[in-house]
Structure 1
Amino acid sequence: MNSKIQKLKMSLLLSLALPTAVVAAGANGDARIQKMVGPHMLTIVTTDRVAGAIDSMTWGGVEFVNSSDHGRQIQSSASFLPCGEAYNPTEAGSEVDGVGNYSSSNLLAISAVDNVLRTSTQMAYWRRVTSVLNCPSNLPALSNFKMHKAVTVGSGPFPHAIKYETTFEIPGGLPSAIKASDWSTLEVVTGYLPSTGFSADDAFLYTPNTDHRLRTPIAWRPWPEANSRYQEFQTPVIMPNRSGTAALGMYFLPSTNGPYLKYRVTDFSASGVVTWTLRVDEPRPFAHVAQDQPTPAYTRSYRVYVIVGSIENVQTTMDQMASNPGAL
């Protein structure tokens, strides 16, 4: 199908879903939403450079995004063992896009109305040429994976919460190595905090209805990359900035998102970033597919929350969410 027709169809679908939105086929990715959150304006900026991924998020003069290349930002991606980054569709673009102003991903549609951002993106492969055994060695720039997101600043009774909804469209007919995969990983949302403003050592686990000054620290595990570390949790995480004037939290309901969603924090401070991730590691996603049959196309949808404000704002919002899950 002609790519212009595909873009027009995607724009029509998005505009039908959002009657108040102004959506253009092949829209430029430069957009902004903002809303007063407590005493400060919370501003989210997307750019065409990263195909509508979130290039900046600020509150109270604090920047929550390191966006130096096309693998950082606040964005979504997919990968499959054993291929990992050798088969890794990524919202913002590819590794070869580097620090340039061009993204290999294809922004299909974008809408920014008041405090709500929506995008639809055909994701680029992060790496095109790889040497991972049994995995594709030469990939095109653009994958057939699509992802759609809706980002709402100030969610219902939780003014400091950003509702982050994503849908992944996984195409059928995946490579044989992917079909045999033990795990598929969908990074529902990953953010890259600048290590100049944030330290992994300040991150702590959320404990309901507890003074935030009584913190449960993270017991780190070594990451294969030198001078890096990580940890995964089923418990929400709060990440204050170095000065303690602002914080970011992650929160989700297992009942809404299924059994495989988890939190991860990774300390890549040697590379200038600390990452936070809400990710789904789904075991043996194609175990039901007969050996002589292609993998079917399927979709996965998730609703999670990113909370921004002071440390006390983040803790209080998590307490309110825990006590009122019906509002999520």
Structure 2
Amino acid sequence: MNDLDSLVESAARLFAQSNTPAELENAKAQFLGKSGRLTELMKGLAQLSVEEKKTRGAAINAAKQAIEAALQARRQALAEAQLQAQLQAEALDVSLPGRQRGAGGLHPVSRTLERIQAIFGSMGFDVADGPEIETDWFNFTALNTPQDHPARSMHDTFYVEGGTENAPHLLRTHTSPMQIRYAVQHVKKHRAAQGLGEDGGEPFAGPMPEIRVIAPGRTYRVDSDATHSPMFHQCEGLWIGENVSFKDLKVVFTDFCRAFFENDDLVLRFRPSFFPFTEPSAEIDIQFPTGPLAGRWLEVAGSGQVHPTVVRNMGLDPEKFIGFAFGMGPDRLTMLRYGVNDLRLFFDGDIRFLSQFQ
């Protein structure tokens, strides 16, 4: 028995020992999660020759399919067992009065998105919306993301039909593509207004109003646990002008966080980090002065000064225009605002949970 056969057998055995859906999902993560055993084997393909990759890759894919089949079979078995137990435990009393339909309300994440838009709207930011199925150019290349960036990995990204081998289509992994789309349209508009035509060979360096925009929306990555979901929300922000500094970023985001959490004593920390599309870059942490999270630093966003290459891909002259960008997760902000410790509760559709926010 080779290592892959043994891996499939171990997975099937562990799945069979899982007696609840939660145990089964934890078992799945050991094999198919981002740090799972099968995922680590797939990462190791990079060290092999082309011919070895073909043979080993095919074998790993076969093992993955077998593990997924065993996982699905166990899920079905647990669901059927749960249904049978429920049918045996419950009885139907036809004399009971019918249930009235309750009043609906906004989902807590929708409330957060509306709150974000209102706060940034008061600061003069527009709201941009765009396609969730993106091109490689807008999702990666225009944002200075090289071919070997982890976000391009099949383990993190959902690719879809359409496009070409060199320019595939995918479900966007962030809403940053809307920064490029919005800026390009903004530049075309002002080029045309100055009689320069919509598209020029040189980056635009003429007079132009500042670009202030946020782009909230759904994004997608292959990830699922208590704090991550395959579909989640992001909100990117962009401010481009002739004299926009990192100081402006700190002021804007500090004001936003204090307004969002309604706490003027909230403390923010900007930690040096790395993102391909900003330089310098910083992670943004917050610290609550009181409450159950008091004293802890909690990461809420990534940010930085827009990279000159990204500015140039917007059609602007990076020697004249400068600015900052940030990206945050409305789902995480919702969890912090309402004291929710499991992201999956937002997407399970359990009325008992959601009705608490009405």
Bucket of the pairwise TM-score, normalised by the shorter protein: under 0.3
| TM-score calculated relative to the size of structure 2 | 0.26
Larger Rg: 2
| TM-score calculated relative to the size of structure 1 | 0.27
More strand by share: 1
More helix by share: 2
